[in-house]
Structure 1
Amino acid sequence: MSILHARGVVRAFGHTPALRGVTLAIAEGEIVAVTGPSGCGKSTLLHCLAGILRPDAGEVIYRDHRIDTLSEGGRSRLRRTEFGVLFQFGQLVSELTAAENVALPLLLAGTGRRAARTAALSWLDRLGVADLADQRPGEMSGGQQQRCALARALVTEPRVLFCDEPTGALDSLTGEQVLSHLVRVARQQGTTVLLATHDARVAGYADREIALRDGQVDPSGFGVEAAIR
């Protein structure tokens, strides 16, 4: 059963096209790698599907409801409740501890401080970084920061997790450790994962691959035939 659709999605930045009519469907519980060379539109596609960007044309449909027509506030609420986002550099708040960073999405959604901290500590423990709860990002390695960022993305137990080059700033060993944690938790919870990457090793963790080239789905890409339904 599909949970997320893009239908003819177009997006440009000024006079530069980024997406040229992308159509695809993502099944619930699937882990999908969106691959392609730098500049092919991977990040732009993820940002449109997550409601961070609004397409210039086309539709983005989540659980039978269009989200591209929602207001900025409506799309922000969706990201607080249904979606999780993990960026390449984690984007942790430098002034906050690991536990405070992870608890932040819950606090923004109205959860009480004690409950939010309890949930944050639980997720840090699940991802093997409980001992960092009271440390700030500047006191952590890149891999530790990214696991904390993953905990923050998962603490609201989202239905869909968007990962934009999540290992791009990490060495290969640390990147594989982060991906192993990500895939394990996604499988346990039945979370749908979209993973933008140019790294074949990262794509290997996915159930299937959707290749982009010049802002379009590349029909010659591995596994792409199953992407359009």
Structure 2
Amino acid sequence: MNSPLLQGRSVVRSYGATPALRGVTLDLAEGEIVAITGPSGCGKSTLLHCLAGILRPDTGEVLYRDQRVDLLSESARAVLRRTEFGVLFQFGQLVAELTAAENVALPLLLAGTGRRAARTTALGWLDRLGVADQADTVPGEMSGGQQQRCAMARAMVTEPRVLFADEPTGALDSLAGEQILTHLVRLAREQQTAVVLITHEPRVAGYADREITLRDGAIDPAGLGQAATLATRP
């Protein structure tokens, strides 16, 4: 039996005296989309940050392909996020001074890809997400939905094995949100990319293969199982 692609083992994380995660254990299989749900302040984003190597857990383990992510140096974890992981935040966090194409090309340039090849690849991803016409536009001149599509292209341009999506539709209206989710699921299936999807919205969780609910920093046993299937889900 194959090992899980990504594992969290008894992950504990506190902010000062305030506990955020209280021993969370979960597995993520290759190509699987898992929604992490729960009320605000339950530890969803902290769990994502620990799994993605942005934060180190206080105790416990995070493993990617059986390698201890939590034991890697900060620079090694940053390289992992540029190569094997992709991160999509709620507000996109595009670089304001760069065009859409430059934003999407940035991870490739940081990895050593030549400028011309990086731009060509970036334009291809913008086209796949239906925003090729925004290639030379800066974020401030795009709609929220267009910005988030560009941010998704940037997160996927290195063809990561795991995509971490933290409330990716939280700042969008319902139509733009549905479009983002449809693109996210389609691209994940095409690339066989596993997805950790953080959300507090049941309709968003419905796009996942499986849903895990956090309450007060721990997994709620009643929240384990299959996410509901939406009529609009690809």
TM range (shorter): over 0.9
Give the partner amino acid of 2:22.
R
Q: Secondary structure at the match of 2:5?
A: strand
Question: Which segments of 5 or more consecutive residues in structure 1 lack a partner in the other structure?
Answer: 225-229
Say which of 79, 82, 90 aligns to 2:84.
Answer: 82
Say which of 75, 96, 99 aligns to 1:97.
Answer: 99
Structure-2 residue corresponding to 1:220: 222
**Distance in 1 of aligned mates of 2:113 and 2:218:** 40
Give the partner amino acid of 2:89.
F
Matches within 5 A, 1:57-68: 57-68=59-70
1:23 and 2:25 matched: yes
TM-score normalized by structure 1?
A: 0.97
1:189 and 2:184 matched: no
CA RMSD of aligned residues (A): 0.8
Structure-1 residue corresponding to 2:71: 69
Structure-1 residue corresponding to 2:203: 201
Q: Secondary structure at the match of 1:220?
A: helix
Give the partner amino acid of 1:143.
G
Offset of residue 222 of structure 1 = 4.1
Identity %: 79
**Distance in 2 of aligned mates of 1:121 and 1:210:** 35
**Distance in 1 of aligned mates of 2:184 and 2:140:** 23
Q: Structure 1, residues 167-193: CA drift from partner, whole Å, max 9, x if none?
A: 000011110001100100100110000
**Distance in 2 of aligned mates of 1:196 and 1:19:** 15
Give the partner amino acid of 1:108.
L
**Distance in 2 of aligned mates of 1:211 and 1:129:** 34
Give the partner amino acid of 2:91.
F
Identify the range of structure 1 (1-10 vs 154-163) with the bigger mean alpha-carbon deviation: 1-10
Q: Structure 1, residues 7-27: CA drift from partner, whole Å, max 9, x if none?
A: 000000111100000011111
Identify the range of structure 1 (92-101 vs 213-222) with the bigger mean alpha-carbon deviation: 213-222
Structure-2 residue corresponding to 1:158: 160
Structure-2 residue corresponding to 1:114: 116
**Distance in 1 of aligned mates of 2:81 and 2:123:** 21
Matches within 5 A, 1:134-149: 134-149=136-151
Structure-1 residue corresponding to 2:51: 49
**Distance in 2 of aligned mates of 1:36 and 1:173:** 23
Say which of 123, 133, 137 aligns to 2:135.
Answer: 133
| Corresponding residue pairs, total | 224
Structure-2 residue corresponding to 1:227: none
Give the partner amino acid of 1:210.
I
Q: Structure 1, residues 84-128: CA drift from partner, whole Å, max 9, x if none?
A: 000000000000000000000000111100010000000000000
1:34 and 2:22 matched: no
